Amino acid sequence: MSSEALRHVAIIMDGNNRWAKREGKQGIMGHRAGVERIRDVLEACRKNDVEVLTVFAFSSENWRRPPKEVEALMGLFYSYLKREARRLAEEKVRLKVIGSRSRFSESLRRAIEEAENTAGEGDATLVIAADYGGQWDMAQAARKVVEEVIVGNLSLEDVSPETIDRHISTHELPPLDLLIRTGGELRISNFLLWQAAYAELYFSPLLWPEFDGAAMEEAIADFYQRQRRFGRTGDQVTGQGTLRA
């Protein structure tokens, strides 16, 4: 049984297109249905005192999808920001967007900034990963560290995992505890690679539009049934034994 409080949950929201195809609908309808699940899952997280929910909205690789789908996804993201920012602020949920913004339109970049400013404070945080990739995240952190070394603010001897961690896009948030993927696939697809080092992994067969608050409750209950050891033995965690030389 985990005695560690669940503070940070991340979700790879997979299965929107498959759900739409199964229901005989256009792909974008699956993404629209998926947007509604964010609200349900966020509510379940808050009910269980989860401080941070991070959702994988659009990956660095998703630009390879058909142009019409990408355009529809950008429009959906824009409308979500415009519609939800004030509601999140009223519910005391802070909004943070991580990822590279260089390929977004000027209007979308502006909408992101406005939404983050509107929902800028709260006792819970919703993080949206858009044009995000774990490898990108580590590369941009490494770039910042190199810049510090070049200008003399940091020596090579001082570069450590902690140094890198301070420049990762989620550095001011609690460590990732639970990484969920819906849709039945068993991979993490370049999402939060650095942050997931000691996260518990949970794979659901449900397609994302089916993953409601009750499914989130099941994932949380599963987390609390696990023993998190972080390199220690099970006996050390439970206090039933000690290491011998």
What gap in Å lies between CA 29 and CA 55, rounded to an integer? 19
What gap in Å lies between CA 27 and CA 209, rounded to an integer? 12
Residue 82 host element (H or E): helix 67-90
Give the β-pairing of 178-181 and 124-132: unpaired
What gap in Å lies between CA 132 and CA 80, rounded to an integer? 18
Distances (CA, A) of 103 to 74, 112, 130: 11, 13, 11
Tokens (6 digits) for 57: 């909205």
Residues catalogued as catalytic? 14, 62
